[in-house]
Amino acid sequence: MRKREAILKSSNVKQTLDEAIKRALQIFKPPEKISVSEWADKYRLLSSEETSKPGAWKTASVPYMKFIMDCFADERIKEICWLKCTQIGGTEGLLNMVGYVIDQDPGRIMYVLPDEELCKDFSELRLQKMLKSCPTLAEKFYMNDSKDTLLKFKSGFIVFGSARVPGKLATWSTRYVMLDEIDKFPLWSGREANPLKLVEERTKNWWNSKIVKVSTPTLKTGAIYQAYEKSDIKYDYYVPCPYCGHEQTFTFKNITWPKNEDGTSDITIVRNAAYYECEKCKGRIDDRHKAAMLRAGKWKPKNKVAGKARSIGFHINSIYSPWLTFGSVAAEFLSSKDDPAALMNFVNSWLGEPWEDKAATLDSSKVLEKQSDLQESVIPDYTQIITAGVDVQKNRMYWSIRAWGAHYTSQNIAHGMVETWEELEFIMNKRWPDTNGELKWQVHLCAVDSGYDTENVYDFCLMNQDWAVPVKGSSTQMVARFKKSIIDNVSSKSYGQTLYIVDGDQYKNVIAARLNRPVGIGCFMVFKDCDLDYAEQLTSEHKIRTKKNNREVETWVPKTSHAQNHYLDTEVYAALAADLLQVRYLDEIQPEVESNSVVRDKEEDDWINIKEEDW
C-alpha cells in the first residue's frame, strides 16, 4: 500500500514538474524565425465583419505587400514609408505588422491617427476585431484589462494617439510606432512640436525601434512625400509584360481607351474597353493579365545608397489594385479631369502622387495667352449664362462681366471701374451684343462684395434683388466653396436678406487651374486685345504656406504688399454667381432643328398657295 502511494506521489510530482517545465519553456520560447507575410498567411483570419471574403489571409492576393511587410522584421531597417493610393491594402499591412508584434516579438506599440474619433473607431472596428478573430492573438489579448484606446496583451500594449492631442503623444515611450494617414495630421499641435517629431522622440530609448509611416499624399510639401523623399532607398513595383517579358511600372499614361472622332470619350464604353499598353512592345494588356503580372512582380530600388539603408520608401498607385480594372481608373480620370478639385483627388487618391499646383508660377503673360478671337463686349456663341462680380473699395467699384457655357468654359467680355452706384446699375442692366450684333444679352446674376460699405451694398442688392446678391469673403477655410447665410442684424433694413459666404482660396484654385488649360473648352478666357492691367491684377497673388490658428495652411496672398488684386476678386465673385446659377450642369447647345409644327405650317401654306390649274 505504501509502495503504491509512493509511486503515485512520485508520478504526481513528475507530472507537476513536467507541466512547470513546459510552461517555462513556453514563456522563454524564442520567436519563430518567420517573416511578417509568413505569419499573416499562417495565423491571420479575416472575419465576416472585416471583409466580404472571410477566411485565411493570403498575401498572394496582394503580392506587392509581401516585401513591405517583411521589411518590418528586418532589424537593419528603422523606418518604413509607404506613399500610396487609397484602398490598396495599406491599413491591412499595418494590422499584420501589429499582429506579428503581439504574437512574435511583443513590446509597446503606439498607433497614431489624425483625430480621437478615428482612434476609437479604428480600435473597436478594426484592431479589436482582428485580435478576437485570430486564435493565436485572442489568447494573448487581455480584453477585460483593456480600454478603447489602450489595449493590453501579453508582455506589451498598444496605445492609440490622436495627432491633435499632443499630451498623449508625449506621454509614452514606445518601441513600435505606426503612423496612419499622416498627411491629415495637423502641422502644429498648439504649443507643442510637430506631432510627427513628438512621436519619433518617444522611440529614442529603444535601440531596436521601428517607425512605419503610411498615407495618401496631398502636396509635395506634405508629410508623407517629404518622408518618402528622405528615405535612403526608394522602391517601385515592376511587373513583366505577358508578351515580351519587359519589366515596367504601371503608369497612367499607358492606359488606352477608345475615343470619338472629335476626341471625346464615352465613359461607359471606356469603363469596359480600356486596356494597358506595354511601353516596349505595345502589346495589349487586359485585366485578365494583371493577376499573373502582380504575382511575378518585384520591388526594385530607384537609387543606390552607400552602406546599410536605415529608411526605405515605397510608392504604388491604384492601377496595381487587384480590385480595380484599367477601365475603372480611366473612367475616374475622365469624370474628374474638368474639375480641378476632383482632379486633385484623382492624382492623390488614385495615382498616389502629390498634387503639383502650378498656380504660383502664373503671371500676366499666361492670361494674355488666353485671348479668344472676339473683341471686347461681344458674347460668344456658346454662352448660356452671364454673371458679374463687383469689388467695392472706398471711392470706387471694380467690376467684371463673364460669359459661361458648358464644361465651365468662360470668357471675360468686359471689365472696368465706376465711382457711383448709379453707374454700376447702368452697366449691369446694359444689353450686350452676340456675334451677329443683336443686343439680346444681359447679366443674369451679379455678386457684390459687402466687406466694405456694407449697408450700402445691402441696400443696393435689396433694391436690385432680381439680379444682385451680397457676398462676403470667409476668414477661414471652408469645406464647400460657398455657403448661404442670413443677415441677422435686426437694426439693418436688410434684416433677413440672403448673404453668401465665399471661400476665395478655392475659387482662386479653380481660376488658376482653368488658366492652365488650352484656349477652348473648359478654359478661363479673355477677350481679344485684353489690357495688361487686368492681366496683372488677375495674377497678382500666389499660393504660399501660412500659419493660421497654430497650424500651417496653404492660402493665396498678394505677391507684393502694393499689388492690386481687384479684378481677381471680381472674377471670384463672378464665378460664385455662376455656381449659384448651376453652371456645372450646363449641357452643350444643340443646333436648332425645324420642328414638326413649322413643317406642317409650311405644308399648309403650300396647299393654300396652290394654283387652281395645278389643283
What is the model's pLDDT at position 190?
Answer: 46
Which of the listed ranges 111-115, 393-397, 523-527, 605-609 does the model predict with the highest average pLDDT? 523-527
467-477 confidence digits (pLDDT tens) = 999 999 988 77
Q: Please give the pLDDT value at position 167.
A: 66
Strand partners of residue 314: 82, 235
Residue 139 exposed, middle or buried by CB count within 10 Å (0-12, 13-18, 19+): exposed
Q: Determine the Cα–Cα distance for residues 531 and 417; give it in Å rounded to an integer.
A: 14
Give me the pLDDT at residue 99, please.
96
Write down the pLDDT at residue 595: 44
CATH T-level assignment (fold) for domain 360-585: Nucleotidyltransferase; domain 5 (3.30.420)
Question: In the block, which residue shows the cell 471583409?
Answer: 51
Predicted pLDDT at 434:
94
pLDDT at 429: 95
The CATH code of the domain at 36-230 is 3.40.50.300
Residues of the chain with CATH 3.30.420: 360-585
**CA 615 to chain CA centroid, nearest Å:** 74
What band does 545 get if pLDDT is binned at 50, 70 and 90?
low
pLDDT of 570 higher than 90:
yes
Burial degree of 36 (CB within 10 A; 0-12, 13-18, 19+):
buried
The mean predicted confidence, pLDDT, of the chain is 85
Q: Is 473 exposed, middle or buried (0-12, 13-18, 19+ CB in 10 A)?
A: middle
In which band, very low, low, confident or very high, does the pLDDT at 3 lie, cut at 50, 70 and 90? Answer: low
What pLDDT score was predicted for residue 1? 56
Give the model's pLDDT for residue 550.
54
- Write the DSSP string, 478-547: -SSSEEEEE---TTSTTTT-EEEEE-HHHHHHHHHHHHTSPSSTT-EEE-TT--HHHHHHHTSEEEEEEE
Q: What is the pLDDT of residues 186-231, one digit of tens each?
A: 765 445 567 787 888 878 888 888 999 999 998 877 889 989 999 9
Residues in the chain: 615
Given a cut of 50, whether residue 609 has pLDDT beyond it is no
Per residue in 62-102, pLDDT (tens digit) is 999 999 999 999 989 999 999 999 989 889 999 999 999 99
Res 371: pLDDT? 95
pLDDT given at position 611: 37
